[in-house]
Amino acid sequence: MTQPGQTTTTSHEAIDAFKRIVGDEHVLTSERATMPFSKGYRFGGGPVFAVVRPGTLVEMWRALQVSVDNNLIVIPQASNTGLTGGSGPGFQDYDRPIVIISTHRIDEVHLINDAREAISLAGTPLTHLTDALAKHQREPHSVIGSTSIGASVIGGIANNSGGSQIRKGPAFTREAIFARVNDDGKVELVNHLGISLGDDPEVALDRLQRGEWSPEDVTPAPEDSNETEYAEHLRKIVPSPARYNANPEYLFEASGSAGKLMVFAVRTRTFPREVHPTVFYIGTNNTHELEEIRRLFLEADMPLPISGEYMGRSAFDLAEKYGKDTFVFLKFMSPALQTRMFSFKTWANGLFSKIPGIGPTFADTVSQAMFSVLPNQLPKRMMEYRNRFEHHLLLTVSESQKAASEKMLKEFFAEPEHTGEFFICTSDEEKSASLNRFGAASAATRYAALKRRHIAGLIPIDVALRRDDWNWLEVLPEEIDDQLEVKAYYGHFFCHVMHQDYVAKQGVDPEALHDRIQHLLEERGAKLPAEHNYGRIYKLPESMEEHFKELDPTNTFNAGIGGTSPHKDWA
């Protein structure tokens, strides 16, 4: 059986063909060169035959043809910022060599219909789309924490990313152009982009990249608004989760495809930009108070808030200590610089990982040491709330909702049974609170990496709780709690999507403990995963496996995802 990194005569021919298509410098084969692509941000990682980095959509198409002709497993990859290892290989019993087709170089954005919609190409980062729309006073379909490290538009859509936007819901579209491998093993191009580009695949893809079409070739935009149908869906306080990966309402071709298609571009709605939003910083020691506030706003006769982000004290402390470098870069520099620093860190860790006595966290260790000497970067009022309150909520509303929202919160906390408080953030506090909240995920990863010799491992849980669950913050059985060194809770509170990061003590089996915690959550009616996709840590349900078999009947793309068969034709 051919293993992922092994070569054959046919494989050598494939390498030559890839080089003719994209150029020698964009075909990577050594372990050191491929590691930044093959190793996941948190999980996954294994040998690959090659990484191919096309610079155009036509090169993508041709590289895919070579891969299929040479019986290779293809993993499409944009930024490799996912948290479950789904954009790279795992350590599975693969029966074919693996090629990663990295789309990172293909990052154009085309705005259509007066910027009310956007066409994002294969590797377009959310930062590019956000910048392009800002000039038109518009904003993208999604805002997620990993935007700052280069997360891509298509990666978010393929992985059901939800993000923090209450009114918009999960990253979803029915309009995309992609390649699939049909039952006969032939590559075919499917254009559901709503733009007429012709029948020849290479001509169509070249026109798409250049933006060469006329207005009459484009279907009209939907009615403009500040929200999607998800907002009304979310208002229903019912015994089911609001959004999760296996929800059939949010599975359509590229959306939720998890790398089982080769997606060249997606078409997404854009939204009027929020000007002068207000952020309320809420603190309490009673989880029921936060749930009461959530329901108060969901049931109010006014538009939903923009976002409502929860953070527990443990997550706050992790982010403050182990995410300080990310905080400083984003607050005082730019997302673009942070993306470059993230890429450099990945490269440096890979470079030094083979040197005895240094290991795979060299860049993290140096950065942590350098930034630990800086004083606390968080505003005074935030730190006061950290000391007084266990639970924190960042509630963001439109400028027009500020007065009504403030009145609701004042009346709520004036009631004698409520013990929490709130303040309205200044612009500096707003930015700091947001960065601290979204730094929690990377901080947990940093902590686990630096402590790797003294712990069993990181156990991340991405869960969609029931919308009617009052007991949203879990209380683990003592026998499980005793196996954990750290617990950090944070998430998209109004959607009841929680990210729960655990660090297991030495001697604990992290995979077994993950499964036990997942079982406890599912007994409560929760669904996992919620927005990070299955990757290499979740076993997908039978319904999702059937869905993926329809998308990819020969199991050419991202074989083995979610614990499925890594073999050809799903054998």
Amino acid at 244: Y
Longest CA span, the chain: 77
196 carries a ligand binding annotation? no
Task: Please state, as a whole number, how many other Cβ atoms lie within 10 Å of the Cβ of residue 507.
Answer: 8
Contact 389, 283 (CB under 8 A): yes
Task: Please state, as a whole number, how many other Cβ atoms lie within 10 Å of the Cβ of residue 71.
Answer: 18
Q: Which uninterrupted H or E stretch holds 427? A: helix 427-438
Q: Could you tell me which of 121, 96, 105, 5 has the C-alpha nearest to residue 52?
A: 105
81 carries a ligand binding annotation? yes
d(CA 83, CA 500): 13
Structure tokens given for 154: 């298509």
Contact 22, 63 (CB under 8 A): yes
d(CA 283, CA 467): 22
Structure tokens given for 100: 């990663």
55 carries a ligand binding annotation? no
Q: How many CA atoms lie within 13 Å of 553's alpha carbon, on the beta-carbon side?
A: 9
d(CA 76, CA 170): 21
Contact 393, 282 (CB under 8 A): yes
256 carries a ligand binding annotation? no
In DSSP terms, 28 is beta-bridged to 51
Cβ contacts of 83 within 8 Å, gap of 6 or more:
41, 42, 43, 146, 441, 460, 462, 532, 535
Q: Could you tell me which of 9, 101, 36, 128 has the C-alpha nearest to residue 351?
A: 36
86 carries a ligand binding annotation? yes
CA distances from 268 to 173, 248, 256, 263 (A): 6, 19, 14, 14
80 carries a ligand binding annotation? yes
51 carries a ligand binding annotation? no
Angle among Cα 218, 222, 228 to the nearest 5 degrees reads 140
DSSP 231-293: HHHHH---SSBS--TT-GGG-BTTBT-TTSSEEEEEEEE-EEPP-S-EEEEEEES-HHHHHHH
Angle among Cα 307, 313, 317 to the nearest 5 degrees reads 105
71 carries a ligand binding annotation? no
β-pair type (50-52, 27-28): antiparallel
491 carries a ligand binding annotation? no
10 carries a ligand binding annotation? no
Task: Please state, as a whole number, how many other Cβ atoms lie within 10 Å of the Cβ of residue 142.
Answer: 24
Contact 253, 176 (CB under 8 A): yes
Amino acid at 535: G
158 carries a ligand binding annotation? no
First-residue to last-residue Cα distance in the chain:
14
449 carries a ligand binding annotation? no
d(CA 37, CA 99): 10
Residues belonging to the binding site are 78-82, 86-87, 145, 152, 162, 258, 263
Residues belonging to the binding site for FAD are 78-82, 86-87, 145, 152, 162, 258, 263
